[in-house]
Amino acid sequence: MGKFQKKRGKSTPKVSTASLPDIIFMLLFFFMVVTVLRDSELKVENNVPYATELTKLEKKSLVNYMFIGKPVKNYQAQYGTKPALQLGDKFADISEIPLFLEKHRSTVPEGQRPGINTSMKVDGDVTMGFVTDVKTKLRKSGQLKLNYSAKKRPN
Amino acid sequence: MAKNVRTAPEVNAGSMADIAFLLLIFFLVTTTIDVDKGVLVKLPPWSDEPPEDLKLNKRNVYSVLVNADNQLLVRGEPQQVSTLKNNAKEFIMNPSKRSDMSEAPNKAIISLKNDRGTSYKTYLEVYNELKAAYNELREEEAQRKYGKAFEYLDKARQKEIRSRIPLVISEAEPTNFGEE
């Protein structure tokens, strides 16, 4: 009987922290898997407008991105303040779009190529003239699936 | 001496948690879980020939003009973006069978035209409202016929409703006004 009485009272039992690293590792792996490291630095202002009829773009590998907006401050001396197009991580001319699309297309398995989407991230203050030029070029290059990137409108 | 040779020295694993924490925080900070969302559109294929002049009954065309000052002209009348959706819905369905609105939902055509100086924000807002009108009509149709939300219907029924209320937005070449 005395055996059991010994521990009672004075000290609270210690919680074992030996499994803490395992828990942390689990969290770590979770975040490692869901992380998408930004692959292109934004060189244009890009504040996409709000909308309500949104569709999610599920497969990231089937999407290519085009950014349109005013060049950010650091690049204004070089590229001016008119709307500019950014493909990948550099400024580009509209005439470079077909090559850009072709490059992306070659990374996609042949069977999935009809599902390729172009996501246009256009700053809300850009005028439609430039956007229309880009759209026309997309049509001429046969890329007809287009997504106007937008944010969900807060209620 | 003999004791030293036999047992390998233990590595202190106490700092493992700290290292894991450090990595965890790094990934926490760099993570962007947000998925890309947007308004999906399908562009018409390009052809070098000018499009044929279709003879359309005027009552079936819902023309929306957005000018360089971001003002709307809908069927010749100035309008606000906020009323566009409900007016478009009424036009497409034409519940009171008016002679100046579409004959049937599948004959209605929305013609959207803007200036080169129209801001993208307004354009997208207008496009979004028009798309919302169609989505709501399809939703109502689904509720009325099957008593279920459109997105929970099976493929064939969705297709049927879509063909009954087809989304036709025709975009004309913009006019050269107000480009910076």
Nearest CB neighbour to B120, from listed A27, A36, A124: A124
Task: Report domain extents, chain A.
Answer: 50-152
Cross-chain residue pair A31–B46, CB shorter than 8 Å: no
**b/e for A22-42, b at 16 or more Cβ within 10 A?**
eebbebbeebeeeeeeeeeee
A-chain residues near B39 (CB < 8 A): 51, 53-55, 147-148, 150
ipTM above 0.85, yes or no: no
Kind of pairing between the strands at B77-79 and B109-114: unpaired
> Looking at the complex, does the CB of residue B141 fall below 8 Å from at least one CB of chain A?
no
pLDDT at B43: 87
| Residue A48 DSSP code | -
Give chain B's mean pLDDT. 83
pLDDT score, position A138: 92
* B40-45 average pLDDT score: 87
B60–chain A nearest CA distance, Å: 24
CA distance A68 to chain B (A): 11
Interface contact B128-A129, CB threshold 8 A: no
pLDDT higher than 60, residue A7: no
Chain A: closest CA distance from residue B2 (Å): 31
Report the gap between the CA of B162 and the closest CA in chain A (Å).
Answer: 16
- pLDDT for position A146: 92
Task: State the average pLDDT over residues B159-164.
Answer: 88
**Which sign, positive or negative, has the C-alpha torsion A45, A50, A55, A56?**
positive
Question: How distant, in Å, are the alpha carbons of A80, A97, A133, B132 from that of A87?
Answer: 17, 8, 15, 30
C-alpha A137/C-alpha A152 separation (Å) is 28
DSSP string, A105-119: HTTS-GGGGGG-EEE
Instruction: Tell whether B128 is within 8 A of chain A (Cβ).
Output: yes
Of B90 and A19, more confident = B90
Q: What is the mean pLDDT of residues A86-99?
A: 89
| Ranges of each domain in chain B | 61-171
Nearest residue in A to B34, CA atom: A36
Residue B157 has pLDDT above 70, yes or no: yes
In the predicted structure, residue B172 carries a pLDDT above the cut 90: no
Q: Which two tokens stand for residue A3?
A: 């055996």
Q: Do B45 and A122 touch (CB under 8 A)?
A: no
State whether residue B17 sits within 8 Å of chain A by CB: yes
Q: How far apart are CA A90 and CA A87, in angstroms?
A: 6
- pLDDT over 80 at A151, yes or no: yes
Mean pLDDT, rounded, for A51-78: 87
Q: Is the pLDDT of residue B2 over 80?
A: no
Q: Where are the beta strands (DSSP E) in B12-147?
A: 37-42, 61-66, 72-74, 77-79, 109-114
Most B CBs within 10 Å, among A53, A66, A120, to test the B interface = A53
pLDDT for A122 equals 92
> Does residue A2 have a pLDDT over 70?
no
Strand A151-152 and strand B37-42: the pairing is unpaired
Sign of CA dihedral B99, B102, B104, B105: negative
Of the two residues B96 and A9, the one the predictor is more confident about is B96
Assigned token pair, B112:
């959207």
Query: Is a pLDDT exceeding 70 seen at residue A5?
Result: no
- What predicted TM-score, i.e. pTM, was given to this entire model? 0.77
Q: pLDDT, tens digit, for every residue of A31-46? A: 777 776 666 678 888 8
Cα dihedral: B11, B15, B19, B25 (round 10): 160
Amino acid B180: pLDDT = 55
The phi and psi torsions of A113 (rounded to 5 degrees) equal -60, -35
| pLDDT confidence bin for A134, thresholds 50/70/90 | very high
Q: Min CA distance, A2 vs chain B (Å)?
A: 36
Instruction: State yes or no: pLDDT of A102 exceeds 90.
Output: yes
- Higher pLDDT, residue A18 or A120: A120
- Determine the pLDDT at residue B102: 84
* Both structure tokens of B136: 């709501």
Contacts of A52 in chain B (CB under 8 A): 128, 132
Asked if the Cβ–Cβ distance from B131 to A53 is below 8 Å, we say yes
Which of A124, A142, A147 is closest, CB to CB, to B40? A147
> Predicted confidence band at B68 (pLDDT cuts at 50, 70, 90)?
confident
In this prediction, residues A98-124 reach a mean pLDDT of 91
